[in-house]
Structure 1
Amino acid sequence: MVERQLAVAILAAGKGTRMRSNLPKVLHKLGSLSLIERLLRTVLTLGPHRCLVIVGYQQEQVRQTLADYPVEFVEQREQLGTGHAVQQLLPLLPEFHGDLLVINGDVPLLRAETLQALVERHRQVGPRVTLLSAQVADPYGYGRVFCDAQQRILELVEERDCTPAQRQNRRVNSGVYCFDWVALAQVLPKLTSNNAQQEYYLTDAVGWVGKAIALDVSDPQEIVGVNDRRQLAQAHQILQDRLKDAWMEAGVTFVDPDSVSLEETVQLAPDVIIEPQTHLRGTCRIGSRTRLGPGSLIDSSTIGTDCQILYSVVSHSQIGDHVWVGPYAHVRPHSQIADYCRIGNFVETKNAQIGSHSNAAHLSYLGDAKLGSQVNIGAGTIIANYDGQQKHFTEIGDRSKTGANSVLVAPLKVGSDVTIAAGTTIPPRQDLPDDCLAIARPHPVIKPGWRLGIRSTHPLAPKTPSVGSLRIYPLRLCPGQDLKQELEQFARQQPLQAGFVLSAVGSLTQATLRLADQTEDHLLVERLEILALHGSLCADGLHLHLTVADCQGKTWGGHLRPGCLIYTTAELVLADSLEHRFSRQLDPTTGYLELQIEQAAADPSPPLP
């Protein structure tokens, strides 16, 4: 006997008003998949001859979401009920003589085994329709199904039409039907909307096609529908419980299952331990005896055996065996961490290949890099991989190590057995050969008597450099920087002892000046050339006058204020007199912080007691 063909109709035309969303109800996500995708993947395991999706509200979004699935779309221009939706199939199935499985698109938890059992029961018994029913503890909101002892359907009654006695019946209608299509096609044209909702009900057809039977689903949670956000959350919890129960049976430990979430695409080996507040997304594979969490997110990554991922994020990466990550590490996409590595506190990797037995224990960024084996990354090491336009690559050989607060500016190649001293910055393309020590840092500048107006009397205070010496600082500012703020920061960071401006040229997009004998600032918003900048700078303040010219050559001059923004550049040459010490102190005569000038000669050492 030739097996009867099976067609499937998924009803997905409704808006889902109770979702309070512009997104069609069937496109709301349950885990990583939309409701209709999750149902459709289950349906396709039945191998249907045709799969028809009835669309209406925001149908272009539904069509786009299901573009890669083997389905046909049927338009229901007006949403006039379930019967009206199935009526749209009449022109499409004129020669079809098999069975039609009708399912609402908002029932995402159905199992393939349940649908297969429904179809098999229908074909074994041979009724005109077989309805999937369920015995539930709380039937409120569902239509009731009344059957005889042989499960033949006597009556279907909607919740709102039930008498008090009928409401005691706990067998409910799931909205899933398997019809003999020829019998159904004969009665579909007879459906009317003569009811309070003015809709065409498919349940009316059940009573007209002939013999109808019910099949109770073994797990009533399978028929949970999603009509609002609460039911969406309920479905998510059911899905999570299924997954976690299955993995616990397979030998996985969940310390606090209710605080953990995962997706079906996750694969867990026996003896994996998942701590509270840990979440697994996408296609993940986790090796045996690995402990995830607490407080970790693993997304589309492979993690080997005997690893620990503590309070960290791992995304689209591969981690070997015996690796420790965290706490508070971020392993970003395309990172490959080999065996026996440590990616420690507040370490970030991105597109990084890290060889076995290598460590980055603290506060580092490793981006676009390849590290050999047994490399040690000191705390605060930064691989500067971005030059403002593109990313560059850094390679570090076996057994090399970086000191604390090192900066490696890509592109760069560091050989094997290299030691980079603490505080060292290696410029781009300054490749380091094997077996060397690299040191690149300025000598410390010590300024005795740093507190305002108080010179050091410490017997070991260093002598001030010889009278008459100057230190020159060339400086270039970039577009968008604030001229005054950058000079203030520079004077503090160096720090300048008795600084002044030797020369200044450049351009501004705007200038803020305080003009002579004025209390309010004057703002010029136009392209301006810097003609001159004069004045003094020290660590506790500066006093500068700026002169600029507009496109007509008109000049403006006044006290430099915040809000002078660089247009293309500002090229400055600053000088610091090591013979003097400048400070700014309140002058009671003027009421302003005025310049105080002192000689920089060291005080004599105090007598010994």
Structure 2
Amino acid sequence: MTLTDTDRQVASIIMAAGRGSRMKGYEGNKTLLPLQPGSSIFKGRHPIIRHLMENLPAGATSLIVNHCKDEVMAATRDSGAVYCDQPVLNGTGGAILAAGDFVASQPARHVIITMGDVPFVKKKTYEKLVDGLDAHHLMILGFSPRDKKQYGVLEIEQGRVRKITEWKFWKDYPPHIQDRLTVCNSGIYAARQSALVDYLPVLASRPQVVQKEIDGKITDIEEFFFTDLIEYMVRDGKRVGFHVVEDASETMGVDDVAALEKAQALFAGPAATG
């Protein structure tokens, strides 16, 4: 059975709403940054978002938009994507909640969730994630970097993910526990459409209150995190699996100037094909 069979339809959600404050010197939406630089590293051809979309499984696609949304929509208008506005930048969970109607209306049984600044995930990698949904309600794309500091890690028991733990928490684990945590979270997922329909309302009912500096003042705001949804699923006995990429560059996010330069070099060479 292949991904083209009727019962293997795949919808995709791309999170492309954020500004990307770490991309110094650039005010636009970083998903529009070029993989082929021209007059500067910020101006050129082949936007990140277009390369990403080329590798997604065939099927309906939703783009979550906010920052510079008109430019994002103009760059992708001919793709047939559905645009879902995330009115407040309230976390990865908030982005998926913005696509709630899109998810609910899908005939596709499976949904890919990916970030708009991760251009090099291969078609076969997405397919392996979706294949994992035969036995799991949700799949996480993992990677194993040389240095896992700063990343969230998958806590795995008997081949299944029990939870995702962020760096600020696992850095205080005893060294022998840290050594066991070898798989990091890429922020890319595949889920059964029915599981998302069931658990998005649960996520929406449980915001996290976080403190952020806004206009020079520390303010309490509500945010939603997709990793919380995974925790709720595990608690209810749902099966969460994972697939680890062989080459960690597949999951590289383009979030600052150094990463952009690396991505442009990868795109220019044979490692970017596949």
Residue among 4, 18, 22 paired with 2:8: 4
The structural deviation recorded for 1:240 is 3.4
Q: Which structure exhibits the higher relative contact order, with contacts defined as CA atoms closer than 8 Å and separated by 6 or more residues?
A: 2
Give the secondary structure class of the aligned counterpart of 1:18.
Answer: coil
The structure having more radius of gyration, on CA atoms, is: 1
TM-score normalized by the length of structure 2: 0.81
Residue among 222, 239, 250 paired with 2:250: 222
Residue among 31, 34, 38 paired with 1:29: 34
Unaligned stretches of 5+ residues in structure 1: 247-263, 265-609
Q: Which amino acid aligns with 1:57?
A: H
Give the secondary structure class of the aligned counterpart of 1:3.
Answer: helix
Matched, 1:242 2:270: yes
Matched, 1:71 2:81: yes
1:169-318 equivalences in 2 (<5 Å): 169-191=181-203, 192-196=206-210, 198-209=222-233, 210-242=238-270
User: Is 2:103–2:196's contact at 8 Å kept on the other side of the alignment?
Assistant: no
| Alpha-carbon separation, structure 1, partners of 2:103 and 2:139 | 20
User: Is 2:62–2:102's contact at 8 Å kept on the other side of the alignment?
Assistant: no
| Alpha-carbon separation, structure 1, partners of 2:55 and 2:242 | 21
| Alpha-carbon separation, structure 1, partners of 2:262 and 2:172 | 28
Residues 60 and 120 (structure 1 numbering): CA distance in 2 closer, same or farther, change over 3 Å? same
User: Where do 4+ consecutive residues of structure 1 move more than 6 Å?
Assistant: none
**RMSD across aligned positions (CA):** 2.1
The structural deviation recorded for 1:77 is 1.0
| Alpha-carbon separation, structure 1, partners of 2:149 and 2:265 | 20
Residues 27-73 of structure 1 show CA distances to partners (whole Å, capped at 9, x for unaligned) of 11112311111101111xx211x111111111000001112212111
| Alpha-carbon separation, structure 1, partners of 2:208 and 2:154 | 21
Matched, 1:136 2:145: yes
| Alpha-carbon separation, structure 2, partners of 1:9 and 1:128 | 17
Residue among 91, 95, 111 paired with 2:101: 91
Residues 30 and 167 (structure 1 numbering): CA distance in 2 closer, same or farther, change over 3 Å? farther
Residues 158 and 27 (structure 1 numbering): CA distance in 2 closer, same or farther, change over 3 Å? same
Task: Give the number of aligned pairs.
Answer: 240
Q: Which amino acid aligns with 2:229?
A: A
Q: Which amino acid aligns with 2:49?
A: I
Residues 454-497 of structure 1 show CA distances to partners (whole Å, capped at 9, x for unaligned) of xxxxxxxxxxxxxxxxxxxxxxxxxxxxxxxxxxxxxxxxxxxx
The structural deviation recorded for 1:195 is 4.4
Looking at secondary structure, tell me which structure has more strand per residue: 1
Residues 82-134 of structure 1 show CA distances to partners (whole Å, capped at 9, x for unaligned) of 111111122233343511110000101111111112112223x2x11011111
Identity %: 24
Matched, 1:102 2:113: yes
Give the secondary structure class of the aligned counterpart of 2:100.
Answer: coil
User: Is 1:96–1:182's contact at 8 Å kept on the other side of the alignment?
Assistant: no
Residues 154 and 67 (structure 1 numbering): CA distance in 2 closer, same or farther, change over 3 Å? same
Give the secondary structure class of the aligned counterpart of 2:114.
Answer: strand
Q: Which amino acid aligns with 1:189?
A: P
1:107-122 equivalences in 2 (<5 Å): 107-122=118-133
Aligned to 1:146: 155
Give the secondary structure class of the aligned counterpart of 1:170.
Answer: coil
1:409-558 equivalences in 2 (<5 Å): none
The structural deviation recorded for 1:237 is 2.8
Residue among 60, 64, 81 paired with 1:54: 64
